[in-house]
Amino acid sequence: MAYTVTPSRLPEVLLIQPQIFGDARGFFYESFNARDFASATGLNAEFVQDNHSKSSQGVLRGLHYQIQHAQGKLVRVVRGEVFDVAVDLRKKSPTFGQWAGFHLSADNAKQVWVPPGFAHGFMVLSESAEFLYKTTDYWYPEFERTLLWNDPALGIEWPLPSALTLPVLAAKDAAGLLLSELETF
């Protein structure tokens, strides 16, 4: 199987399109193949955990990262549509504090590679969405940090569904810190 890999405006954040085989019966694609992933991306990521979330329209999860045990994430949507965002938190990076956003859906089957050192989050655009992601390290709640989703220094252009004036947030996401206040890499 082959992947088409496109670097984003943050060169280490990759948009990945698997090869899809479809006919009158439906479709088939390999959502992950370690050998093909390494060949297409140049990365030899070892994934240790798979996560699956379901959220309603307007829910915004993020922007999360772990200051220790930083996680690389391979993310995709298997039902519905989301706007997915990665933010570079590596102080010495030329793209520090910049973001890249992607429309991911079950229909387009696109995936995003979010490397360690980046905050990650998504907003649900469809009635509901199921979101899957593989991580390169385990979740350690004591090291989890949250970047405020609407930090003016970031200028993320969240496509909020028209029926809402604000996204639906967990308490920890509403209490996220500004980039200027965060522990970064």
- Sequence spans of domains, the chain: 3-181
**Extended strands (E) in 45-168:** 49-56, 60-66, 73-79, 81-88, 99-105, 111-114, 118-124, 128-135, 144-146
Level-2 CATH architecture, domain 3-181: Sandwich (2.60)
Mean pLDDT of all residues in 141-169: 95
Give pTM, 2 decimals.
0.96
What does the DSSP 8-state code read for residue 67? Answer: S
Q: What pLDDT is recorded for position 21?
A: 92
Q: Please give the mean pLDDT across all residues of the chain.
A: 96
In order of 2, 47, 60, the CA distances from 50 in angstroms are 22, 8, 20
pLDDT tens for each residue of 73-82 = 999 999 999 9
Q: How many angstroms separate the CA atoms of 64 and 122, rounded?
A: 10
Question: What residues act catalytically?
Answer: 64, 133
